[in-house]
Amino acid sequence: MVSLHTADNTKKAFYSNWKSVGSANASGLLAALVVVTAILSVTTPYFFTAENGLNILRAVSFIGIAAAAATLVLVSGGIDLSMAATMALAGTVTGGLIEGGYPTIFAVIAGLLAGGIVGTINAVVIVGFGINPLIATIGTQFAARGAAYLVVDSREVFIMDPAFNWVGQATVFSFPVSGILMLLVFLFLGWLMRDTIFGRHIYAIGGTPNGSSALLSGVPVKRRQFQVYVFSGLISAVAGLLLSSYSNTATGYNAMGLELPILAAVILGGTALGGGRGTVWGTLAGVLLVGVIVNGLTLNNAPIAWVLVVQGAVLVIAVVVDDRRQTKYNK
């Protein structure tokens, strides 16, 4: 068996290699963000303002939180397409309980547990039964979305709870609380992935097919993969509660179609589809770039069809860039 000390040396070498790749990717995203901002600033006077900047931050906060969790999953070599549906389920569970007169804290805990249950089901199916994560999470996506509709009897629940709505709508010194929450999630996951044994393990698992080398190095591969999917469900639930808090509503339709911008942001941020590479800070840059593009199109009164076309194009570009980056990295 390869020693864990050897594995740690391998990881140090990985971080050294990835640092240069990540720096190049961050520079490219920064340049793209500057160019897009300059173009959109010319098209409408309402774009380049402090108020609109805070609006963008508020609007991308729940997408950013989900994207941070998606980064964790992709780095480990997996994928989770049930995140948006989990967001809707967490929101409807919490919104339905608040509407029913239950205490806010109880309703929030129930919503988080709903996300944890979806994550646990994903973990059992993928890790326990060895089902392909793409197929498995498509299945749980439909199941969670259906459950979200069932919980509120296919209604749109309006959440009139000042304490719950405060997180998604309030500001502290003009800074959105939702943005603060998103940054806290990124700080936590950034620390978890970079500075803990758990983080080193998921990079090692994602860096080789089926985590084979990591297993030989003594990494508890199945346990870590299980934990990653449970984490994904819980953090997706946090994003779903933030979305319901922001919009005052809980419905099975919430977060519909967000899988695309979430994945686009993560891949744009430098996370490899094949696993083993990526950082949450690259993902944050990707989230902001996608958010700026959507906001600019909206301010220019672009039809929703064109917004979807651009989002699809961004995802395709992200996949192509990832392929080129992977080819360069493997040389």
Domain ranges for the chain, please list them: 46-330
Task: Give bridge partners of residue 249 from the DSSP assignment.
Answer: 158
- Check residue 2 and give its pLDDT: 37
Q: Tens of pLDDT along 184-214?
A: 999 999 999 999 999 999 999 998 776 677 8
- Check residue 217 and give its pLDDT: 78
Please give the residue that has the higher pLDDT: either 72 or 330. 72
Structure tokens at 260: 């695309």
Structure tokens at 90: 């967490």
Instruction: For residues 259 and 144, give the distance between their C-alpha atoms in angstroms, rounded to a whole number.
Output: 14
Question: pLDDT band at 19, cuts 50/70/90?
Answer: very low
> Domain 46-330 maps to which CATH number in 1.10.3430, 1.10.3470, 3.30.70, 1.25.40?
1.10.3470
Residue 232: its H or E element: helix 221-247
DSSP state of 252: T
> How many CB atoms neighbour CB 231 within 10 A?
22
Please give the residue that has the higher pLDDT: either 218 or 139. 139
Residue pair 157/251 in contact (Cβ under 8 Å)? The answer is yes
- Check residue 318 and give its pLDDT: 78
Task: Give bridge partners of residue 157 from the DSSP assignment.
Answer: 250
Comparing 42-51, 212-221, 268-277, the range with the smallest average pLDDT is 212-221
Cα Rg of the chain (Å, integer): 20
Upper half-sphere CA count for residue 19 (Cβ side, 13 Å): 7
Q: Provide the CA 210 distance to its chain's centre, in angstroms.
A: 23
